[in-house]
Amino acid sequence: MTSTSQPLTPPAAGHILQVETGLQQLMGDRDLYLQILRRFRHRYPDSGCDTRKALNSGEPGHAQRIVHTLKGAAGMIGAQQVYLLAAQLETLCAGPAQVWSAPLAQLEQALRSLVTAIDEVLASDPQQILAGEPVAAAVVPETRMLLLHLVRLLDEGDGAAIDVLEQSATVLAASLGVEVFQEVTEAAHQFDFEAAQATLQAAMAD
């Protein structure tokens, strides 16, 4: 059988988009990973431009939120270069233009390369991707790993948390209890990620 890395990661995309890293964070759920890639492709290509507009309009707080959300989304799909550049820029948004101008240009270029890499992966045969060998299971229990991943997404204000809640509803409801699961889901759908995270962490501590 073809190994996981060959059908999943086109050679040109490998250093920009580390697919196996993204898959490991989703416990090898290839269907969900492809869905999140498409979501990223739809939602984040203009993040660099939007950040520049906000900064040029004197709205550093808004720019910082855009970059923070991009950072979380990039980290989840295995886009380490964009993640690191976004993390750097996030701390510079409040400064003058000469401080953030070059890092923002780097981020915009990296984001263009990432979009190209995502397009290459999505253009691959989905059946090939889904037929690959499963990613090795983590040492920690599967459900615990999923819950910790969800906590991180909520902490970063990443809308991909909603995807995880929807795709893993049965497992999460069984683990947390239906009432708690519904409370977390409702808060997430209202983009009240802080409340969703607080409810989730309280349930995990019990």
Domains detected in the chain: 5-130 (1.20.120), 142-205 (no CATH)
The CA-to-CA distance between both ends of the chain, in Å, stands at 44
Let me know the angle formed at the C-alpha of 94 by 91 and 96, rounded to the nearest 5 degrees. 115
Q: How many CA within 13 A on the CB side of residue 121? A: 34
The pLDDT value recorded for residue 130 is: 43
Q: Angle, to 10 degrees, between the axis of helix 178-189 and the axis of helix 160-167?
A: 150
Burial of 43 per CB tally in 10 Å (0-12, 13-18, 19+): middle
Let me know the angle formed at the C-alpha of 62 by 58 and 65, rounded to the nearest 5 degrees. 145
Give the predicted TM-score (pTM) of the model. Answer: 0.61
* Residue 126 vs residues 31, 113, 114: alpha-carbon distances, Å: 9, 21, 19
| 145 against 13, higher pLDDT | 145
The pLDDT value recorded for residue 140 is: 37
The pLDDT value recorded for residue 144 is: 79
Lowest-pLDDT range of 30-39, 125-134, 153-162 = 125-134
Lowest-pLDDT range of 57-71, 78-92, 169-183 = 169-183
The pLDDT value recorded for residue 71 is: 87
| 159 against 10, higher pLDDT | 159
